[in-house]
Amino acid sequence: MSTDDHNAAVPDAAPQGAAPPRDLPALGFTERFEALFAPLAPGGLIPGRVSRIDRGQPLVLTADGPLRAELAAHLRGVADAAIAVGDWVALARPEGHDLAIVEAVLPRTSVFTRKDPGDHAVEQVVVANVDTVFVVQSLAPRGPNLARLERELVLAWESGAQPVVLLTKPDLVDDPEALRAEAATVALGVDLHVVCPITGEGFDILAGYLGPGRTVAFFGASGVGKSTIVNRLVGTDVQETAEVRDADGKGRHTTVAREMFFIPGGGIVIDTPGMRALALWNAEEGIASAFPDVEELAGGCRFADCAHTVEPGCAVREAVEAGTLPARRLESYLALREELERLAVKQDARARADKHRSDKAFGRQVKNFYKQRER
């Protein structure tokens, strides 16, 4: 922590485990972010990465250490600028101000979103700028939940990060290999590994996804072992874990916040609380990626806009009848598609268009920052 910083540094709130690196590439500041940030450097701003958010105030890791920050007035209430753990931001550090100020949020390489669990057709950004999304499921007590895995994979694909499935608790089941094969039937085109954070099985493979500047995040229901994996990777118990209730095999929500941790050999992990509600948000492409089998069959349907329900000449339903596509797979696909359609009715057109406007929004943020400085 440099002592001449005029903004309060916050060592007490810094993540436990390995200290956050001070060099930006180790924090994930790639050439892409460097180039995006360049127009803001002449304005005296510094780049930093959001490692956690407490009561709306991000903790931002910078080359000068962690700084507590708040959003600039011109970003507040702007949906495009909502920040998430993992975001790269441009910070001002005004003289005599306790908090640094987030003046812009750099366009993301990936963003994991879901529909806000409330009723509204509102997007919730879970984490940003993740390279690999680990979708975690437990093999015990009942084996993988295929429908949930399909939904999780749709969201993971949609994020733009690389999805990878991790299956935990092989030590608690008789035939982990058979359960793995079952999960593999819905995890098309993604790596799938069995890991045991208790024995360390599979951790050599996890290391391959990590390394300096690489960011991985863990998703899955509570109790599947996400925090236990994170603790083993980090090398100390940075996250609380909880015994799973025997009756229903479900875990309690011990992980309450999303937070970034650092791996001694290099690499950044983000743990997340178990998410009960994983409602889709604009996941058209995610569905297409998660169901390559259905999408390919659909190419053979007589009608280009075939809904695979009652149309004549439907190659998808023919495959189900012939036994080459599991009926439950088509049901999942249709249910997820229908969920998206219901969401589209609730969303206004603007909300839908917003998703692809982050580059434009960033340009506006840069302009607003310089405009406000002239005053």
Ligand X SMILES: Nc1nc2c(ncn2[C@@H]2O[C@H](COP(=O)(O)OP(=O)(O)O)[C@@H](O)[C@H]2O)c(=O)[nH]1
Please report, as ranges, the residues that interact with ligand X according to CB under 6 A: 168-169, 171-172, 196-198, 220, 222-228, 241-244, 251, 254-255, 274
Q: Is 344 exposed, middle or buried (0-12, 13-18, 19+ CB in 10 A)?
A: middle
Question: Which of ligand X, Zn ion, Mg ion, none binds 243 (CB below 5-8 Å, type-dependent)?
Answer: ligand X
Q: Rule CB under 5 A: is residue 316 a binding residue for Zn ion? A: yes
Task: Decide whether 110 or 227 has the Cβ nearer to Mg ion.
Answer: 227
* Residue 169 Cβ vs Mg ion, minimum distance, rounded to whole Å: 14
Task: Decide whether 17 or 274 has the Cβ nearer to ligand X.
Answer: 274
Query: Is residue 295 helix, strand or coil?
Result: helix
What backbone phi and psi angles, to 5 degrees, belong to 281?
Answer: -135, 115
Q: Rule CB under 5 A: is residue 255 a binding residue for Mg ion? A: yes
Q: Which amino acid is at 3?
A: T
List the one residue out of 104, 87, 27, 94 whose CA is nearest residue 62.
27
Task: Decide whether 168 or 289 has the Cβ nearer to Mg ion.
Answer: 168
96 Rama class: left (phi>0) / alpha (psi -120 to 50) / beta: left
Task: Decide whether 187 or 316 has the Cβ nearer to Zn ion.
Answer: 316
Q: Rule CB under 5 A: is residue 132 a binding residue for Mg ion? A: no
Which span sits near Zn ion by CB under 5 A: 10-18, 155-163, 209-217, 308-316?
308-316
Q: Which two tokens stand for residue 90?
A: 């441009």
Question: Which of Zn ion, ligand X, Mg ion, none binds 168 (CB below 5-8 Å, type-dependent)?
Answer: ligand X
Q: Which residue of 62, 129, 168, 227 would you call a contact of Mg ion, by CB under 5 A?
A: 227
Q: Do the beta carbons of residue 166 and residue 134 sit within 8 Å?
A: yes
* Residue 271 Cβ vs Mg ion, minimum distance, rounded to whole Å: 6
Rounded CA-CA distance 307/298 in Å is 9
Query: Nearest residue to ligand X, using CB?
Result: 225
- 77 Cβ contact partners less than 8 Å away, ≥ 6 residues apart: none
Instruction: Annotate each residue in 265-304 with x if it binds Zn ion (CB under 5 A) or - if it does not, as one string.
Output: ------------------------------------x---
Rounded CA-CA distance 88/40 in Å is 13
**Residue 248 CA: distances (Å) to CA of 6, 16, 182, 227, 275:** 52, 32, 21, 19, 16
Task: Decide whether 160 or 176 has the Cβ nearer to ligand X.
Answer: 176
* Residue 320 Cβ vs Zn ion, minimum distance, rounded to whole Å: 10
Interface size with Zn ion, residues (CB under 5 A)? 5
Rounded CA-CA distance 184/190 in Å is 9
Q: Rule CB under 5 A: is residue 110 a binding residue for Mg ion? A: no
Rounded to whole angstroms, the maximal C-alpha distance in the chain is: 74
Question: Which of Zn ion, ligand X, Mg ion, none binds 314 (CB below 5-8 Å, type-dependent)?
Answer: Zn ion
Interface ranges with Zn ion (CB under 5 A): 301, 306, 308, 314, 316
